[in-house]
A and B are shown apart, each in its own frame.
Chain A
Amino acid sequence: MVTGDSRKKLIPPTQLRVKAGFVVSSPQDEDKKIILLNEGELVALDPKENNKVAFKIHPGNLVGVGALLEREPVRYIFQATVDSIITIINDECMESELKSLPVWLLAVIKAISARTRRINESMRSAKTDNPLASLASFCKFYKGDDFLQTKALLQEFSWLTKTPIPTATEALKALIRRKLVVFHGDKSCLSIPNADLLGIFADYQKAKDLDKPWLPFCLTLQQKRILVLLSTLENGTSKDSTDWIAFFKERHFEMSVADWLQIQQFEWFVEKGNHLLSLDLAKINYFETALKYEPNIKGTV
């Protein structure tokens, strides 16, 4: 009679008494199952290692969860070493049991399984999320090396970051398109015209990944003009805030305190004590280079 109450129809697990030497599960078995050892002892034999004993299973332990819940391949043969009592939970039994569980408990089980799957997948995947930024950072270390072997460079990058060679090759092409890296001859060699620019590009990419505005591309026209002015000064030029504001006003820049505070966010000045702010030309140069090569960095060459 159909009652429509399938939730209560539980298929119980099967309990078996097995003799020593009985194989309870093997990789060839079509139906996946969880085996719970109630009494006795099982061993896991590795067929890839000439059936060498990999480990022992003691009462209370269970095997086959990954195979049944995650459809993972079974690696070992499980054999009883002494007369044992086992409980077998097969697909139907598990399904009926899962159906009887509260939905939230099912969600807990699924969430833990998914989390493990994600961790295992991430172990097999590249160590960085943005291969383009990562390759740019890698290439910038080859400052001063005239010609580099393309294949060797990609292999080295792939080894360090576990990025697959095809992905690394695509990232390299993207750097070539932006003219940050230049191919030579039959593309077997390459050179890096401006290593610092690669570092700047990597920073831009990282800001993009975090969905953050990247300061060199957020400057107003006045701030750009101030940048050009500052680039003509000597590194380490120091003044306090009042003198800096006066310095800009003398050169006909509108400069409120708010404007000044905003400029300080760009880290063009380093605090030197005694309220003195010293010009950091390295940072000025960083901003200038970024602006000069904006189309290359944005990929609109």
Chain B
Amino acid sequence: MDIAAGKILCMQGDTPHSFYIVKKGTLVATYKDEQNETQTKNLGPGSTFGELSLVDGEPLEYTVRAEEDCEIEVIPQTLFNETMAKQPIWMKSIISFLTQRNNIAQENKRKKDFITSFPSLLFILAKSSEKLIYIKDIKNELKNFSNLSSLETYKLLLILQDFRLIRLQAESLTLENEMLIKLLYDMLRLRAIYKNSSHYILSLTEQAILTAFTKTASEKGELLENGFIAVKTTDLAAQTKQSMHGMTLTKNSLETLLQKRLLQTLPPTATKNNDLPGLEFIEKFSADFDRILNLLELNRIYPLLDKKLVVSG
């Protein structure tokens, strides 16, 4: 088939069910991404394209235009089917295996890109100085870190909305909990780089005590000068027992929370168990209330995150 210079052979998104081999001349393949940025590549003699359109009926990824007068060999699906009918049956199996393997590789890549772009998105949001951000700007920034498509980026944003970290509007989003976004990002960073996120991950006992602390603080808390909230040890012990099925507050159960400096004693004491005085000698416990709430929320979200990413991807 001859094609004159400047003529378009096929358009991105077409399904010609044909395979093309360039015999003579040069064609230019242009690909428009979602932001209408065009990428181009040249197809000279010997170049081929359209293999998945021929075998699997997939749409073409490029618009192909002749740069000069060209000669193209076009293999239509009828010829492919006729030829395959003459081949041993296993040859057909091999081609379908190769096509399937290609589809699997493509799907794996898409899923991997989706999951591994999540920290980048969190990074952009965590570092944002604005509470209201345009989705277009986020997508543009994310392009500096990954090649995630617009649709996939939006899917990641929906996950964050499900966790009530952001609120999506038509063209923008509002950060609902900036501190929690920062904590989540930092935890993922520590987990990935230092293989250690223990500072943020709370045991069930720690979560129970901190939950009791927040309840006590809401009802009987006392605001300190440093912005922390203090609660009486007796009130905390009573709340722990009441809401945590009879659980008794002990020195042992408090030790790690004191070491992580999530709770502090009033008056101040040592944080090591051996040196920690009996609870009867500690008048009050104080903590950064917002930080405790965010940590508890982080520990609620964290176990759900991986699954949510896999399912949404």
Contacts and interface: CB of A to CB of B under 8 A. Distances in A.
A133 interface: yes
A160 B51 contact: no
Contact of A128 (B37, B90, B94, B146): B146
B19 A119 contact: no
A124 B133 CA distance: 32
A160 B113 CA distance: 11
B193 A66 contact: no
A262 B18 CA distance: 44
Nearest to B119: A160
A210 interface: yes
Contact of A115 (B19, B102, B113): B102
Interface stretch (B120-128, B150-158, B232-240): B120-128
Contacts of B102: 112, 115-116, 119
A127 B146 contact: yes
A123 interface: yes
Contact of A156 (B49, B55, B93, B193): B193
Contacts of B99: 112
B55 A13 contact: no
B186 to A, nearest CB: 10
Contact of B97 (A62, A122, A128): A62
A127 B145 contact: yes
B73 A160 contact: no
A108 B127 contact: no
Contacts of A160: 119-120, 123, 145
Contacts of A111: 19, 48-49, 51
Contact of B119 (A34, A66, A159): A159
A202 B144 contact: yes
Nearest to B49: A111
B48 A107 contact: yes
B91 interface: yes
B90 A123 contact: no
A62 B90 contact: yes
Nearest to B93: A62
Interface string B42-58: 00000011011011000
Given A62-B93, A133-B144, A112 B55 contact: yes
Contact of A62 (B49, B73, B94, B123): B94
Contacts of A105: 80, 83
A123 B115 CA distance: 12
Interface of B: 19, 21, 37-39, 48-49, 51-52, 54-55, 73, 75, 80, 83, 87-88, 90-91, 93-95, 97-99, 101-102, 105-106, 108-109, 112-113, 116-117, 119-120, 123-124, 127, 129, 141, 144-147, 189, 192-193
6 contacts: A62-B97, A112-B52, A115-B102, A119-B106, A123-B109, A128-B147
Give the 3 A-B CB pairs with smallest separation, nearest first: A137-B144, A141-B127, A111-B51
